[in-house]
Amino acid sequence: MMYLFLRPVSKSLSIVALIVGLSSCASKDVSEEPSVPSLVGKNTGYGETSINGPVPQNPEMRLSSDFSRMSATSISSGSRSRKLIALTFDDGPNPSHTPRLLDMLRRRNVKATFYVTGERAANHPDIIRRIVSEGHEIGNHTWTHPNLKKLSDDRVRRELNKTRDAIVNACGVQPRTMRPPYGSMYQKQREWVYREYGYPIVLWDVDPLDWKKPGPSVVAQRLISGTRNGSILLVHDLHGSSVDAMPQTIDTLLRKGYQFVTVSQLIAQKSVAAR
Ligand SMILES: [Zn+2]
């Protein structure tokens, strides 16, 4: 409880709103707190969903992430035979939205994959450490987010090396996959990157275009309606409205029976299926 109340004021108020919502019969005085009603129902606080009942939980997923037998150099989905999906977050970490997102994921025991840019990783090593320590995966999303098709091989190498080093310096863990900015990469580049770094190139099959900021409920609806077995969902934790869409998205997909795994776990299942 001490931890919760040390958080910034607006989050503490959300927690107060939650407590008030749960105990309004018992304490009339507290429920008349004037600032509370305006915080409820705006989809801005991550505590809201539990007002409507228990938060759905991802079951403990202990899948192997060994994909050493993988031969393909790019992937946009996993095996379609099981209800496993991977939630991926690009272009972070962001100092206000990513920790909020991590709180949402932790409450649901949902593991995700973060394709971070090296520049941001170097600026926020504490968030990188938290991502890894809470069981998520980190992937290489280049240093400056360029279109790799326009770069020489040496420039691509520098982008990947600097980012890998920033991630390793922050948390001691090597990224195991990469995602090219804009999904843009020549097949030839995919092949030599896979040969040199061992990174499978990870794309996606569900794109809600959240960077256009259509609003949290639209983002959630697009993600939910586009998801099927093996899907890789693309979201940007750089934008607050994308993070606001996550409680509805995750809770609905959990209720539909999907289980959230990291990209490496999803790839491993695909290579198991292909054997
Ligand atoms: Zn990106």
Q: Which residues contact 114 (CB under 8 A, 6 or more apart)?
A: 88, 89, 92, 93, 98, 131, 136, 137, 138, 139, 237
Q: Which residue of the set 90, 237, 244, 251 is catalytic?
A: 90
Domain ranges of the chain: 9-39, 74-274
| Whether residue 237 lies in the annotated active site | no
**What is the mean pLDDT of the segment spanning 220-237?**
98
Measured in angstroms, how far is the CA atom of residue 37 from the centroid of ligand 1? 37
Residues whose CB is less than 8 angstroms from the CB of residue 102 and which lie 6 or more positions away in sequence, other chains included: 127, 130, 131, 134, 136
Instruction: Count how many Cα atoms sit within 13 Å of the Cα of residue 37 in the half-sphere of its side chain.
Output: 4
The encoded tokens of residue 90 equal 């690009």
Ligand 1 centre to CA of 203 (Å) is 11
Question: What pLDDT, on the 0 to 100 scale, is given for residue 60?
Answer: 79
pLDDT at 269: 84
The residue that leads in pLDDT, 27 or 145, is: 145
274 pLDDT tier (thresholds 50, 70, 90):
low
62 or 117: which leads in pLDDT? 117
Q: What is the DSSP letter of 178?
A: B
Q: Which residue has the higher pLDDT, 172 or 7?
A: 172
Ligand 1 centroid to 175 CA: how many Å?
16
Residue 69 is predicted with a pLDDT of: 61
How many angstroms separate the CA atoms of 142 and 119, rounded? Answer: 9
pLDDT of residue 37: 47
244 among known catalytic residues: no
Proportion of the chain above pLDDT 90, given as a percent: 70
Q: Which tens digit of pLDDT belongs to each residue from 114-146?
A: 999 999 999 999 999 999 999 999 999 999 999
Q: Which whole number is the average pLDDT over 221-244?
A: 97
pLDDT at 54: 83
Structure confidence at residue 3 (pLDDT): 43
Residue 39 has pLDDT above 50, yes or no: no
Reference 265, options 100, 118, 136; nearest CA is: 136
Rounded to the nearest whole angstrom, what is the distance from the C-alpha of residue 159 to the centroid of ligand 1? 13
Which one from 124, 136, 141, 236 is the annotated catalytic residue?
236
The domain 74-274: what is its CATH number?
Answer: 3.20.20.370
Nearest of 119, 139, 142 to residue 189 by alpha carbon: 142
Dist. CA 41 → ligand 1 center (Å): 30
More confident residue, 3 or 92: 92
Q: Locate tokens 């009339």: which residue?
A: 28
